[in-house]
Amino acid sequence: MIYLIHSETEAGSITRNLGVSEYSYYFVLKEFRPLLESLGLVVAVSDPASEVDRLWANARVHGEDCIFLTFSPPHRTYVPKFCPTIPLFAWEFDSLPNETWNDDPRHDWRTVLRQTGGAITHSRFAVGVVQAAMRADYPIISLPAPVWDHFAPLYDPASTGLTAPRTIQVRGRVYDTNGLDLTPYTPFSRRLHGQAPLPPAGGWLDEQSLTLSGVVYTTVFCPADGRKNWFDMICAFVWALRDRADATLVMKLTYRDAGNMVLAMLGDLAKLGTYQCRIVIIDGYLPDDAYRDLAALSSYTVNTSTGEGQCLPLMEYLSAGKPAVTPAHTAMADYITPGNAFIVASDHEPGIWPHDPREAVRTRRHRLEFDSLVAAYAESYETAKGNPARYRAMAAAAHTDLQRHCARDVILPALMDFMRKHAKQPA
């Protein structure tokens, strides 16, 4: 079997494409590729329109089956004329795009899904949404990215949630409220003097030392993605832990040019008065070693999103035995439990499909309850400080729950079975 794979973002372009539309599909492809290589020959294609059917025809001449796996949402999926195609996509809203705009029928995802005859997504929630829009027996399976094996070695069963001072090397700009004067970013100062420039923080490719200790909360997200809801994340953290000098929130941003978003974050932090807790903003691309170092020293991971298609960083940190402060809606309902997380309550509110330029209200997202988020921060802090047995139990649950959810030896048999049943040219 020959597997043709494609993502719009590739290894050579990921740094400059951080945060742009669909960039995270590259990381999903990266995790699935070793599984596919264990099943057959894998060929990456850059231009599906010119390559896929040609490679399919060549494979047929040599008696080989060939399947095209496109790591992209349906409206960005190229469907070749001959080669069987399976899109792998994430979805976090309770309705599937079922309308057309800009004269492109692919925006009605049902059009593409009918052409491919099957799909892979990353949550039971998304499977239900697709089958409700298509038909109850539409061939689709939930296969999360198999990240557990990469991060499981970071799990420390002896951890109490308190981090001894540790210095790591990060690449990018670092904004640290310890020693940072936020006065120029207050509303009063902005009215008098206009918008202040960003404070000195190094260059986007500079290596910098960062020392962290105490109770360290880490979150990884794209600040340009409104679904990530970083305003609540920041404000609730300060509201809950204002007087805790040993509490740190590390926000690792994944965006190629986050300057304006950092200014907005500094403005929000400046509105919150004085506080002893620490906020560190990292604006840059961390190599794998630095990314793992940050995960290893963290006490908790944080998510405050209004919807998730799967959330790779949350899954990675939980795999490493880091309990979470997070809601348990959409894809997260598959792996977040009271045993591995301090769960933030949420409820529905009207929403839009993120790729719809009309911004038409056609779906729903999840609004977090702010008081619940504050309480989750406070309870998690007290657990790390005063209840090491509970912390260890939650860390162990995170590690083992994610093994059942996204370990390679869990995903591979399901992937093999789905390919055997459904990877054929639709009638």
pLDDT digits (tens, 9 = 90+) for 165-223: 999 999 899 999 998 999 999 999 999 999 999 999 988 888 999 999 999 999 999 99
pLDDT band at 109 (very low <50, low <70, confident <90, very high): very high
Among residues of the chain, what percentage have pLDDT more than 90?
89
**Residue 355 pLDDT > 50, yes or no?**
yes
Q: Which token pair is 164?
A: 């001894």
Ordered by where they begin, the domains of the chain are 2-146+408-422 (3.40.50), 148-406 (3.40.50.2000)
**Residue 319 pLDDT > 70, yes or no?**
yes
Q: Which token pair is 82?
A: 């001959």
Looking at 117-147, list the stretches that DSSP marks H as alpha helix, in order from N- to C-terminal side: 124-133
- Look at the alpha carbons of 230, 9, 20, 72 in this order and tell me if their dihedral is positive or negative: negative
Residue 205: the pLDDT is 83
- Residues 125, 405, 37, 52, Cα dihedral to 10°: 10
CA 366, CA 349: separation in Å to the nearest integer? 6
The answer to whether residues 3 and 41 touch, using CB atoms and an 8 Å cutoff, is yes
**Residue 14 pLDDT > 50, yes or no?**
no
Mean pLDDT of the residues in the chain? 93
- Look at the alpha carbons of 144, 146, 147, 152 in this order and tell me if their dihedral is positive or negative: positive
**pTM of this structure:** 0.94
